[in-house]
Chain A
Amino acid sequence: QAAWCVLPSRVLLVLTSQKGIQMYESDGSIMVYWHALDVAEHPPAQAVFARGIAAAGERFICVGTSSGLVLVFDIPPKGTNVTVSEVLEQHRDAITDIAAELGQAPDGAGDLVTADDAGSLCVWSTGEEFTLVGKIPAFGCTCSSVKLWNGIVAAGYGNGQIRLYEAATGLLRAEVNAHARWIYALDLAPQTGKLLSGAEDSFVHVWKLSRDPDTDDVEIEHCHAECVTDTQVCGARFCDPEGKSFAVTGYDLSEIFRYGPA
């Protein structure tokens, strides 16, 4: 996996692999930090890898591992003195995705969410010490991708469903039968609350999240669908913070498709 981690002081490019985690300066010139994964932590037949990357709490980068641990790295404003500040041990299955709050978290809502292979989600409050705000139980399906916006957790599952939860309480607020196959990617445009989902069924959908100001109910509506013919979509990302255009990648595809307004 590869992700840009945008912190107030600097931007780092983080790469995960079977051997470990690498962090580079944003122009790719220097490797700032290398963290090798501890193979001994895993039972013999289990795969070893790092997966799930997010910048959180203005000075941390969180990376998940196949053993279920989430490594929290403390990033200095300059230089290579990156240290492991904490190891979060709430998940028992391989981490699939991590997301930090992209908007404004309401009180008590936490600002980080981690997801695993079993489908469990954990909501955290970042800081010197991370605290667990709550757990969202699994319902029998892998949670493959997750996003957090204005206290709403958007989770994509292996059975094609998208679910929206209240980050503060873990309550289910919406259930969408979105795709016919495994959801691979979710992205969120923070300025508009648009949600992008891409799955193995060849479809990419654009949704709009909102909150009813009176009832505080969470709403989700379908905006747009694209079918990338004969392609299993593996990646989907908005190209701008309003979500006016997005890019898509797929298995066996050497191109990146970009969709924009007509």
Chain B
Amino acid sequence: MSARTLPLLFLNLGGEMLYILDQRLRAQSIPGEKARKGERLFVFAVMNDIITTMFNKKFMEELFKPQELYSKKALRTVYDRLAHASIMRLNQASMDKLYDLMTMAFKYQVLLCPRPKDLLLVTFNHLDAIKDFIHDSPGILNQVDETFRQLIETYSCLSAGEFQLIRQTLLIFFQDMHIRVSIFLKDKVQNSNGRFVLPISGPVPWGTEVPGLIRMFNRNGDEVKRTEFTTDGNYVTPQREGSFDLYGDRVLKLGTNMYSVSRPVETHMSGSSKNLASQAKENLTPNPLAKEELNFLARLLGGLDVKTPGGSETGFRLNLFTTDEEEEHAALTRPEELSYKVIDIEATQEPGRRAELSRILGELEVAEPRPASSGKGEDLLALMDGL
């Protein structure tokens, strides 16, 4: 499978995570004029911290190295860390739900990509939105643009076949996931059995002709016969191609933010158990290497300067459900086979643990992650002073 899939997987899932967090942070706002200003600042701070962590230079360098995809468990751990890169806290149930939503959304986008290359446009849509979230912070904006440039450099020259291999690698990763998402069900984008609706109408991909025409040629290359066939499909010619530049109209809607404050996002946990059988087997088999498993990225994230709530301050807890009771109930009733069984990796300075990690990561050049500069903290303090 393709060794260039991880950056696309990480960035798109990260993008979806930010869409959901942004929507929930605003939905969980405190009413009142005075609180509104504080709330805006708070939402900004959380998004800011997560995006800064996500686009950390060292992290991106590691991400873009050709490598196999992480296992589902390992990837989930990376997002656990990312989600906690600010003073926001999520309970297990909310984190599970967040991850379900992120993965189903991206699965949908990968599946419906008209051309394999359009996967890149989906990624660009996410990045465009991320740039919009932090458009007031030139420092982080620069980091995001850098990643944008690296994406263009790495992927622009790939052939359709190579993109299709990346797409297939992603589809295998998402295989057999059929969690029902209420916003998808409402929009008739997902069936009640959890499978996505594949439309047989609309514009054909750029570079494809509308099906129907058959042309036959003689030995001299002259067209001698022309016939047509019809099907139930109702396709039309596309108007224009999306832009693959740093800035431009992507044309494709996949990967843009489908959430808004007024649309609560729910998931239904009763997925069809038949299909989950194979996934369940994967989750329940104990993996002795799980703790040491790759997670170089998670370790890097753990080593970065993270806002840890200190003293009496407990940090702000975000709930992805409408009430605390709902969240508790979800945690208790989550089907066994859908549990992510997140392994808590403590990338601390314990000598024993470090030795193990170092041994596994022996081949990789493990430079000690430097704590982020204090500049970031100062910016936010200055902002808070302005309140």
A203 in the interface, Cβ–Cβ < 8 Å?
yes
CB contacts (< 8 Å) of A222 on chain B: these are 214, 227, 229
Q: Contact partner of B210 among A144, A180, A216, A252, CB < 8 A?
A: A180
Between A and B, 24 residue pairs with Cβ closer than 8 Å are A45-B4, A49-B1, A116-B161, A117-B160, A142-B161, A159-B208, A159-B209, A161-B208, A174-B215, A174-B216, A179-B211, A182-B116, A201-B200, A215-B218, A217-B216, A217-B225, A220-B214, A221-B214, A222-B214, A225-B231, A230-B191, A230-B195, A254-B274, A254-B275
Q: A174, B205: Cβ atoms under 8 Å?
A: no
Main secondary structure of the interface of A (DSSP, over half): loop
**Residue among A118, A182, A231 having the largest count of chain B Cβ atoms under 10 Å:** A182
Q: How far is the CA of A155 from the CA of B163 in the complex (A)?
A: 20
Kindly identify which residue among A45, A171, A231 contacts B221, using a CB–CB cutoff of 8 Å.
Answer: A171
With A and B bound together, what is the CA distance between A217 and B115 in angstroms? 33
Q: Assuming A47-B1, A141-B207, A201-B200, is B111 touching A232 (CB within 8 A)? A: yes
Complex formed: what's the CA distance from A141 to B213 in Å? Answer: 18
Does B114 lie within 8 Å of A118, measured CB to CB? no
Chain A residues with CB under 8 Å of chain B are 18, 44-47, 49, 93-94, 96, 116-118, 140-142, 144, 158-161, 166, 171-182, 201-203, 205, 215-222, 225, 227, 229-232, 251-252, 254
Q: What chain B residues lie within 8 Å of A225 (beta carbons)? A: 229, 231-232
> 8 nearest interchain CB pairs?
A117-B161, A222-B229, A45-B66, A177-B209, A142-B161, A159-B208, A225-B231, A177-B213
Q: Which residues of A contact B4 (CB under 8 A)?
A: 45
- Indicate if B383 sits at the interface (CB-CB under 8 A): no
Inside 8 A of B243's CB, which chain A residues have their CB?
Answer: none
Query: Are B233 and A180 neighbours in the complex by a CB distance under 8 Å?
Result: yes
A-chain residues with CB within 8 Å of residue B232 when the two chains form the complex? 225, 227
Verify A180–B204 contact, CB threshold 8 A: yes
Tell me, in angstroms, the Cα distance from A202 to B200 when the chains sit together: 8
Which residue of A has the minimal Cβ distance to B235? A180
Determine whether the beta carbon of A44 is less than 8 Å from that of B66: yes
Give the CA-CA distance A109 to B171 in the complex, in Å.
Answer: 39
Residues A177 and B210 in contact, CB atoms below 8 Å apart: yes
- Contact A181 B205, CB 8 Å, known A96-B161, A225-B231, A227-B231: yes
The smallest beta-carbon distance between B179 and chain A, in angstroms, is 13
Please measure, in the bound complex, the distance between the C-alpha atom of A47 and the C-alpha atom of B66, giving whole angstroms. Answer: 10
